């Protein structure tokens, strides 16, 4: 049985960032990925937005790590040539009844350290985006968009440059917690065993399953798992907006918003479709019938959207640890002080703003592991 300093389970953006942080500290690291390539689940199926950090309670990991991660991410992209654009976004109230919620969001953002927010009247917002309909808006200039695949390529390149290794087609089947490390059974057909001094469970959608597969891990420390599928629709014409447009957040997500990719293609989503179960190969198909609800939501802030302008694009699934009736849960970065297992970090519920927060999460985890 081989032994190694550290294993990162999951080669999404957060797992790759964690592997990079460990490798930079001279820790021998292997990244285990169940798929044939990195970043093919949540990290590849999202809005590719760099968030400013205004939505989250000020004492939360999401607020602190998003604000810190956003600054780290812009610097990283500039230094590594990762395509991105600081395009800004408008969060909009579409009725006078929503304006108090918009003002509360502004206050929350300032408490969180987002220091460039600017409230706009309906007329001011219309001058920036003539097609927009709203009664008031909040401009977030530090919001941006990013090439998530390019980011993951750069993170993997950094990690490998410092000695880390990516092992694809290497699912974690089971494991056991021993006095001198954690033994993992890996592989689909040709099974192998490896012992690691440090383990980071960054398995995303399957993080709770991985934790449950470790003999000796306290079951009471595994949170409930919920899965919210988010569907996206593409706009058939070039976007009439130059900034991202967000409604006020809703339960389970940030509402059906308009984002623009680096090529100028506009897309709307995600909605929130709660899944009862999650198989080994989730269904990412987008039901064309869901478009009716999209048209209704989008026309609240873009009444000029015409019929037959939306086409099914793609879907992603968010790994949640709070359900449809619950308040949104914070990131759960679960270390030895919570579960009692030395040098094991579980990353549960790493949904949005996980991409923005990835570098800050990695620094936080690496410092805990030593």
The H-assigned helical ranges of 129-268 are 148-161, 207-212
The span from the CA of 208 to the CA of 211, in Å, is 5
The span from the CA of 233 to the CA of 323, in Å, is 24
- Kindly report the number of other CB atoms within 10 A of residue 323's CB atom: 13
Phi then psi for residue 95, to 5 deg, are -155, 160
Give the model confidence (pLDDT) of 109-121 as tens digits. 999 999 999 999 9
Query: Could you give the angle at the alpha carbon of 344 between the alpha carbons of 340 and 347, nearest 5°?
Result: 110
pLDDT at 188: 76
pLDDT at 252: 64
Q: Domain boundaries in the chain?
A: 2-47+149-223+329-369, 225-325
Mean pLDDT of 319-330: 94
H-helix or E-strand containing 367? helix 354-369
Query: Could you give the angle at the alpha carbon of 354 between the alpha carbons of 311 and 219, nearest 5°?
Result: 115
| CATH number 3.40.50.620 is the correct assignment for the domain at 2-47+149-223+329-369 | no
Give the model confidence (pLDDT) of 55-95 as tens digits. 999 999 999 999 999 999 999 999 999 999 999 999 999 99
Give the model confidence (pLDDT) of 139-173 as tens digits. 999 999 999 999 999 999 999 999 999 999 999 99
pLDDT at 104 over 80: yes
Query: Could you give the angle at the alpha carbon of 68 between the alpha carbons of 66 and 69, nearest 5°?
Result: 60
Local confidence band at 348 (pLDDT 50, 70, 90 cut-offs)? very high
* Helix, strand, coil percent values for the chain (each to nearest 5): 30, 30, 40
Between the alpha carbon of residue 184 and those of residues 192, 293, 294, 342, the distances in Å are 8, 45, 44, 15
Q: Are 244 and 87 in contact (CB under 8 A)?
A: yes
H-helix or E-strand containing 359? helix 354-369
Give the model confidence (pLDDT) of 353-369 as tens digits. 999 999 999 999 999 99
Distance of CA 286 to the CA centre of its chain: 20
Between the alpha carbon of residue 174 and those of residues 5, 239, 260, the distances in Å are 19, 47, 41
Beta strands per DSSP E along 216-309: 226-235, 244-246, 257-260, 266-269, 273-275
The span from the CA of 314 to the CA of 269, in Å, is 10
Phi then psi for residue 323, to 5 deg, are -95, -175
Distance of CA 130 to the CA centre of its chain: 31
Give the model confidence (pLDDT) of 2-12 as tens digits. 899 999 999 99
First to last CA, the chain: 24
Q: Which residues lie below 8 Å from residue 241, measured CB to CB, with a gap of 6+?
A: 129, 131, 132, 258, 260, 266, 302
Q: Which residues lie below 8 Å from residue 283, measured CB to CB, with a gap of 6+?
A: none
**pTM score > 0.85 for this model?**
yes
Concatenated DSSP letters of 2-26: EEEEEEEE--SHHHHHHHHHHHHTT
Place of tokens 């086409």: 311
Q: Which two tokens stand for residue 107?
A: 């206050």
H-helix or E-strand containing 197? strand 192-201
Judged by phi (left if over 0) then psi (alpha if -120 to 50, else beta), residue 2 lies in beta
Place of tokens 């400013």: 52
The span from the CA of 90 to the CA of 154, in Å, is 30
Between the alpha carbon of residue 319 and those of residues 37, 85, 213, 226, the distances in Å are 20, 27, 18, 6
Give the model confidence (pLDDT) of 224-236 as tens digits. 999 999 999 999 9
Lowest mean pLDDT among 14-28, 130-144, 265-279: 265-279
% of residues, the chain, pLDDT over 70: 100
H-helix or E-strand containing 347? strand 344-348
Class of 225-325 in CATH: alpha beta
Local confidence band at 218 (pLDDT 50, 70, 90 cut-offs)? very high
pLDDT at 370 over 80: no
pLDDT at 191 over 90: no
DSSP annotation of 253: B
pLDDT at 105: 97
């Amino acid at each position: 049985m081989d032994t190694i300093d550290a294993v990162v389970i999951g080669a999404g953006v957060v797992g790759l960032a964690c592997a990079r942080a460990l490798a930079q500290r001279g820790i021998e690291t292997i990244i285990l990925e169940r798929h044939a390539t990195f970043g093919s689940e949540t990290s590849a199926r999202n809005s590719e937005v760099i968030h400013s950090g205004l939505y989250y309670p000020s004492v939360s990991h999401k607020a602190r790590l998003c604000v810190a991660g956003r600054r780290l991410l812009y610097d990283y992209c500039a230094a590594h040539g990762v395509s991105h654009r600081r395009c800004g976004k408008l969060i909009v109230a579409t009725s006078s009844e929503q304006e108090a919620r918009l003002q509360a969001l502004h206050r929350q953002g300032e408490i969180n350290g987002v220091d460039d927010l600017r409230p706009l009247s309906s007329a001011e917002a219309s001058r920036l985006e003539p097609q927009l309909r709203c009664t008031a808006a909040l401009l977030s200039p530090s919001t941006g968009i990013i090439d998530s695949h390019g980011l993951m390529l750069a993170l993997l390149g950094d990690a490998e440059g410092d000695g880390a290794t990516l092992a694809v087609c290497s699912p974690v089947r089971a494991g056991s917690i021993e006095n001198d490390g954690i033994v993992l059974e890996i592989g689909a057909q040709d099974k192998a065993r490896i012992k690691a001094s440090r383990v980071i469970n960054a398995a995303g959608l399957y993080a709770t399953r991985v934790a449950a597969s470790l003999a000796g891990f306290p079951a009471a420390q595994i949170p409930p798992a919920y899965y919210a599928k988010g569907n996206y629709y593409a706009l058939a014409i070039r976007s009439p907006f130059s900034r991202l447009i967000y409604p006020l957040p809703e339960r389970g997500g940030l509402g059906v918003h308009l984002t623009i990719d680096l090529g100028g293609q506009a897309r709307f989503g995600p909605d929130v479709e709660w899944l009862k179960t999650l198989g080994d190969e989730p269904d990412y198909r987008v039901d064309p019938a869901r478009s009716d609800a999209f048209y209704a939501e989008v026309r609240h802030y873009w009444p000029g959207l015409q019929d037959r302008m939306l086409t099914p694009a793609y879907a992603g699934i968010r790994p949640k640890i709070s359900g449809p009736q619950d308040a949104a849960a914070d990131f759960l970065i679960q270390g030895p002080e919570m579960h009692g297992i030395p040098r094991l970090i579980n990353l549960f519920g790493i949904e949005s703003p996980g991409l923005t927060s990835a570098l800050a999460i990695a620094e936080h985890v690496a410092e805990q592991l030593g």
